[in-house]
């Protein structure tokens, strides 16, 4: 999630000071992604450096208001009209953990999956309780909160389905066929190509 663009979009509605920006961000995201004030000011300073906001004078209470520049408004418009690009790779800790665990000799990967499923289901149930115990979305702030909670629920549901799918796929193969011993070959510098990885996988299947 881009904190930078989100804060810039709020400033496009009018000048704000740091604590005010944090409060506005919380109002519009249901307080589901808490920001500290230090993060707010660090972002503002970078935006100022890039010519997207301007720092104003302090008021009688010591509040320093920040205002968006025309270049900042252009960036906000571009952000809102563009799509969110998903990466082709993954850095998801759970996916990497299970991929590695599935290839390690002596690891009960089924137990790893079942433990994670229990935790994921508990998280899903807690999210559902939070949603239904919350207020009805009859105001913009409450609607924003439910939109974020719904997104978290859908992600948790997808994670549980993926765990079920992973367990079923692993059950189709003998455990020893998935294990990888440490290679005795000396790897070359650089990353292996997708083609070489595919060839290794094909070779491994043929040997099995």
DSSP letter assigned to residue 55: E
Contact 113, 166 (CB under 8 A): yes
| CA distance linking residue 30 with residue 23, whole number of Å | 10
Nearest one of 7, 8, 16 to 72, comparing CA atoms: 8
Distance in Å from the first CA to the final CA of the chain: 43
**pLDDT value at position 145?**
83
Kindly provide the b/e burial profile for residues 30-62, where b requires at least 16 CB atoms within 10 angstroms of the residue's own CB. beeeebeeeebeebbeebeeeebbeeeeeeeee
CB-based burial label for 64 (10 Å; 0-12, 13-18, 19+): middle
pLDDT along the chain (208 residues), means of 10: 88 94 87 85 96 93 95 94 78 88 87 95 93 72 86 95 95 78 75 53 47
The model scores a pTM over 0.75:
no
């Amino acid at each position: 999630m881009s904190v930078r663009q989100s804060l810039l979009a709020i400033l496009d509605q009018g000048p704000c000071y740091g604590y005010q920006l944090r409060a506005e961000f919380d109002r519009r995201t249901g307080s589901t992604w808490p920001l500290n004030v230090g993060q707010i000011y660090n972002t503002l300073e970078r935006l100022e450096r890039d010519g997207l906001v301007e720092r104003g004078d302090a008021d009688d209470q010591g509040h320093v208001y920040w205002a968006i520049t025309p270049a900042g408004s252009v960036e906000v418009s571009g952000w809102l009209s563009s799509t969110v690009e998903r990466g082709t790779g993954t850095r998801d800790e759970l996916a990497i953990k299970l991929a590695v665990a599935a290839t390690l000799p002596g690891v009960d990967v089924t137990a790893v999956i079942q433990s994670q499923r229990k935790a994921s289901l508990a998280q899903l149930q807690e999210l559902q309780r939070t949603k239904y115990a919350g207020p009805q979305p009859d105001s913009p702030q409450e609607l924003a909160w439910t939109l974020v909670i719904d997104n978290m629920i859908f992600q948790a549901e997808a994670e549980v389905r993926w765990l079920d799918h992973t367990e079923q796929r692993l059950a189709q193969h003998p455990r020893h066929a998935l294990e990888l011993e440490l290679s005795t070959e000396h790897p070359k510098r650089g990353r292996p190509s997708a083609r070489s990885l595919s060839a290794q996988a094909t070779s491994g299947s043929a040997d099995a």
